[in-house]
Structure 1
């Protein structure tokens, strides 16, 4: 018993070292498991992946540790493992954190310890996401239905494009050629109802276009994700040649700051409320709303500026609300108009208030001014229809919005 307690005390002391105080794989604080095959300290979630790979693990608190295993952990640890298994991780490769989806964490762990992808040794054939070109089949959701069909995708960082075909036969030409410039990829397993679900977003004319895809193989979908990140990184290095990796890496891909359903009314705040799916893109300062959460195109976009530019968000109780089933209101004020949304729960109301204030409190970057509405502090609004710009009065704009809201 004394030996058991002594070894446990040694392991707990090892955990106090800075490199061991966080999970070797996802960075979760206070890891309480360890792989005595690799000599790393990991969290409970990551320990399950190691166990599935036969990287023998034990609980530091609950299991008995033999002297030789404790000695092995003392002579290794997270820093030593990182120096070996993470020696050559590409700067664009996404290293998942504690709250990331399981498919990302599992494939990161397998890439490190099972496939040995980051030891710096030359591999042949080369790892797919390092080549600048990748092609394969993904299951893609139809634009107007929930049916997922096999489609061929081709990614090229030489041409900075992602191309997909409606049929595997390429002779009929591509269905779409997507510029890497505005492409984003984010995992959405719950939204797509598949553990490997990936949402691809890009700009098409003046609209945001969404593609929803998945692959049955977890390694394949994560390879696609990191291949897209590699292509995006190559584009950013070309577009911003003086940009540092510290500046460019956060721009490669991004998750939405918050998503969810809210009820929305029209411009005069008297129209019936309708349920809409909202996505807050913090990087572009856009609050997009859709009829359904898997829609291909948005119904509208609200630019979220700063308080100094006339934007604010607050709780509200609409006086003339019609048709709303939910009771917790959020009002977003812009220089053009007020937007009123209703949340189902008070918790959701608080979350939306917090994230919107977070965006409003962040100073606008130079590129933000290219998308800010030109009608600020004006009695006129510029309406863009394809390649035409029409200047109308703000009152007429509100009436137009009321008509369009019915569709």
Structure 2
């Protein structure tokens, strides 16, 4: 479906000219030095540029351009009132790069998604084409999506374009102009004037979603667009949310509203589980899922985590994983300690690997928090000979050892 491109004049092409016919094409901007880069622009009623063709208000027009070398082409319309619009690039056709010898018409004769219409008032209008070997930045003077140029008058446009092209060598750009006359078509008073456009109002929750109409980016929500009547495809895009797609029927003189409640995109999270020492069994919500180190992709939610390793205390934690979130878990496992119960036939001093650790009372001594491994237990008492035994302490267990101290002779 074709769209009527709006310029600052509220038309597709409200005239495209720039200076009185006697001005040279180069003089429309800054009178650059001669260059071998050439651009030629013309309108469909005067391809040879020998006359001053007449277009009626509301009549459709086509603009053609040709370059003799590879170049980026920018086309402006300048009305007799001084109002300026950007024809190329536009919201529906942003490919403004032409190859050497290529001729291109805007809009193209077939497959065009927009149209150019001549708007009033009556007078001498112009089309200006600027060709540059390098792309120009028009961000400060024009809005490609709307075609609006925040300048009035050929002189102001000339000065603005002079600034834009100043960084370029003078041989790297050139301009050309075409003229036409805007007349007025006869209107039969009895025929009611039907609105030529309708309004599309697009809103989203949350706001700020990118809006695409017929596959072209046209702005962000909330957004009001003036469109030609007909059916249009609409898409809204916002990071973290599912794309929203719908169609709308634009009716003349009416406002069609599209209100989209965007649905968040649910992304799995990542659990990065490590332990010191490694090799611990991992249980998630009571189910064994592997051994450390371990990376687990899980849906958003809460999880009970447990790590188990022989000789070490179990590690437990409750975790909350958000959408797309990475949650690291670094667990230092605490070694289990063993215990030793020493029984003697007399009260005696007790040594472990040569280190005194206590004295039996009533023939009994309990030793806790002992590291696992082999240890030598020695009991000494006055008047008795020493008694000793090698014992292996096991983590998490209590070992018993009985020492009989014989009397000294």
Query: In which range does the TM-score fall when normalised by the shorter chain?
Result: under 0.3
Structure with greater helix percent: 1
Q: TM-score, normalised by structure 1?
A: 0.21
Structure with greater strand percent: 2
Which structure carries more relative contact order (alpha carbon 8 Å, separation 6+)? Answer: 2
Q: Which has the larger radius of gyration?
A: 2
